[in-house]
Structure 1
Amino acid sequence: MIYTDTDQKDWLQLLPWLTLSLIPGLGPIKSSQLIDKFQHPSQLFSASFNQLKSIIPEKLASLLVNAHRDSSIQKQLHRIQTWLEASQAHAIVTPDSHLYPKALKELPDAPVVLYVIGNRQLISEPQLGVVGSRRPTPNGRRVAREFCEHLSRSGLVITSGMALGIDAAAHQGALGCYGATVAVLGTGVDQVYPARHEDLYQLIASQGAIVSEYPLGTKPFAGNFPRRNRILSGLSLGVLVVEAALESGSLISARLAAEQGREVFAIPGSVLNPLSRGCHKLIREGAVLVESPDDVLIELAPQLHGVMNEFSPSTSSRKETDPLRLKVIEVMGFDVVSADQISTLSGIPFAELSVVLTEMELDGVIESTSGGFIRLG
């Protein structure tokens, strides 16, 4: 045995699955059709050309018959074998493994293989997908981080795509409380994208799991990311959308989740914020409106019976009892407003207001941003 690990198949058992996944143009749907017919990939490579072409196009049938002589495929297999041997943190999970998530396996386009770096057990545990804008507002980033910290403490694995913005905030929320998080990539698991997330990638690899269906070395390609979203939603019990424009990849993830029978959650926002419009659209179409992490937990509770940590209503929303603070919060709403506007609307003298605003910012109630202040809770 070349790769020894109690949670993985040996190399000879992995080989048929890997070879099938590397056939150019075959894809998961046609692969699934072949496996349904022949029961196991190992049977495919002993099948005749005529048997294969009755199910798939002749060109693909020819590639399958000649896969063992294809130098490109053999080179990729050698690279994968070397990668597996390099670290016990490296794994490949196939549909015949007990680690392959049952819900993911039921998809008509389920991945033929999953490359994993980190804790491979996490991909079978209860997960919540979290998606949103790559350019969120400060409030959106804060909400994503705090929601995911609370949800992670309650026992959910936070799953996202390691993109800029909301994805990163979601992973950071889970990591910040030493919770579990999974990053589903649109590249090979050996690629860091975006490059500025090198540190985040390393943290997830060491404390969570990096997952992809794409072969090692696969670079960022626009078409890969919508495809990977079906895995993100397929792994999850539901998908939470934090901020999203109307034309947004996050809405694709939400649509896929709904089609897969997963719950869709959306956080509402200001009507003046373009990044709220995607969430409002989802809510109009039937997504669950959530105002706190507990709304998500209550909705998912029937599916989490016996596996979720006990939770109590969130205490992160501070009760403001100071009359001046209450007045400031009342006039602020959730939009960016200047100190002058707050002073005018609240009737609080500017000198007195400056002290109140400083205290509220130190307490994490508001945040200073371009153009003034924004409420955080």
Structure 2
Amino acid sequence: MRRGDDALATVALVSRLCTEGLRPLKASEFWKLTANLNAGPSCLLGTSAGDLAADNELSVEVAERVAGLIGRATALAFELERLQHSGIGALTPFDEHYPRRWTERLGPKAPPLLYAAGATELLDSSGLGVVGSRDVSPTGAEVAIEAAKCAASRGIPLVSGGARGVDQLAMNAALDSGGAVVGVLADSLSRKLRNADVRAAIHDGRAVMCAPYGPDAGFSAGNAMGRNKLIYAQSAITFVVASDKDKGGTWSGATETLDNQFGRVAVWRGPGEGPGNAGLERRGAVPVTEIEQLELLLDSDEFDPNIGAPSLAGSMEQGTLFGAALS
């Protein structure tokens, strides 16, 4: 993959690699800054803090921060090359296969940088998301497995988070059924790639593992919360198998998506469901009592995968999405 200047500038602005005491931009800060540039972020390369402040209406403090981040572009290029040799690439909105649904559905909450390994072309397709509790019951586990088989039979990727429980059961079942998987991780991507089954699926072109955090970043509850919305945005539908009520990552991810319309949510209402499933239905998730209903929902206009939030790219062209200047 040939890295363009806009992509490299994006990595320099937001990556936590080679920070050397610098504070990378958060996603919202990145989108706010780039929405007010006259060109792509590559226009910042080689520009002094004084010129950045004058040309882009930035405060001196912000301009110095941006200049410091941009100044590490060369060091980052070498680090990205090292990662590439280990099978991990970096995707930005200026790269092929960056998930367009993320910018369309999430707007300024979309991560500007994604580390990925495997068949990144799978990120071009919407899939069936399957999520749920780590401590799912045996009956709920069977529901997750049948949902994964549904995705495989339709030839669409199974999208999940790679965690123990529903995530891992569904991903394994999709691969066992000859399907493909998209794993959006909240844990170390590098460590995930040490798994022999994951490496085999990647070698066969049937899996991509990705994370919006550094390749070696460990699991944290905050990372999981930030990751959850990406699963929903990537999926035509996300099917919640089992959720706790009013707590836990599954509940938080589903309610955040329902409240903000990041994606479409269906919820299992049958044997093996979790204590929070009824609450998710009341909040707007579509109830599913038979796995066959998932196929009907995937075919339904109501679940058109192209329906989402207003396009971030279009808003950036109008220059009105985030206001005047980064502060």
TM-score (norm 1): 0.69
How far apart in 1 are the matches of 2:174 and 2:102? 22
1:50 pairs, out of 45, 48, 53, with 53
CA contact (8 A) 1:80 1:216 kept: no
Name the CA distance, whole Å, in 2 between partners of 1:24 and 1:204: 36
| 1:293 maps to amino acid | I
- SS at 2:189's partner residue? coil
1:295 is displaced (CA, Å) by 1.0
Secondary structure, aligned partner of 2:27: helix
2:91 aligned partner: 93
Equivalence for 2:285: 287
Equivalent residue number for residue 226 of structure 1: 225
Q: Distance in 2 between matches of 1:234 and 1:277?
A: 24
C-alpha distance in 1 between matches for 2:112 and 2:220 = 20
Aligned to 1:180: 180
Residue 322 of structure 1: aligned partner: none
CA offset at residue 264 of structure 1? Answer: 0.8
Higher relative contact order (CA 8 A, sep 6+): 2
1:121-136 alignment runs, 5 A limit: 121-136=121-136
- TM-score norm. by structure 2 comes to 0.78
Structure exhibiting the larger radius of gyration computed from Cα positions: 1
Map residues 73-84 of structure 1 onto 2, 5 A cutoff: 77-84=77-84
Aligned partners of 2:166, 2:262: CA distance in 1, in Å? 23
**Contact preservation (8 Å) 2:36, 2:56:** no
| Residue aligning to 2:9 | 16
Provide the secondary structure at the position in 2 that maps to 1:223.
Answer: helix
- Whole-Å separation in 2 of the counterparts to 1:119 and 1:109: 24
* Pairs aligned (count): 289
Look up the match of 2:69.
67
Give 3-state SS (helix, strand or coil) of 1:170's partner.
helix
Moved more, 169-178 or 256-265: 256-265
- Tell me: CA distance 1:178–1:235, structure 2 relative to 1, closer, same or farther (3 Å): same
State the Cα deviation string for residues 220-258 of structure 1 (Å, max 9, x = none). Answer: 232111001121111112211101111121122212332
Letter in 2 for 1:62: E
Using the TM superposition, name which of 13-22 and 174-183 deviates more. 13-22
Q: Which residue of 1 aligns with 2:324?
A: none
The CA deviation at 1:123 is: 0.6
Q: 1:198 aligns with which of 195, 202, 208?
A: 195
Question: What is the Cα deviation at residue 169 of structure 1?
Answer: 0.8
Whole-angstrom CA distance in 1 between matches of 2:76 and 2:220: 19
8 Å Cα contact 1:248-1:278 kept in structure 2: no
Given that residues 183 and 204 in structure 1 are in contact (C-alpha distance below 8 angstroms), is that contact kept between their aligned partners in structure 2? Answer: no
Distance 1:257 1:200 in 2: 31
Give 1:201-280 correspondences, 5 Å limit: 201-206=198-203, 207-246=206-245, 247-258=247-258, 259-269=260-270, 276-280=274-278
**Is the 8 Å Cα contact of residues 269 and 276 (structure 1) preserved in structure 2?**
no
Contact 2:189 2:209 in 1 (8 A): yes
Opposite residue 252 of structure 1, the aligned amino acid is S
Partner in structure 2 of residue 327 of structure 1: none
The RMSD of aligned alpha carbons is 2.8
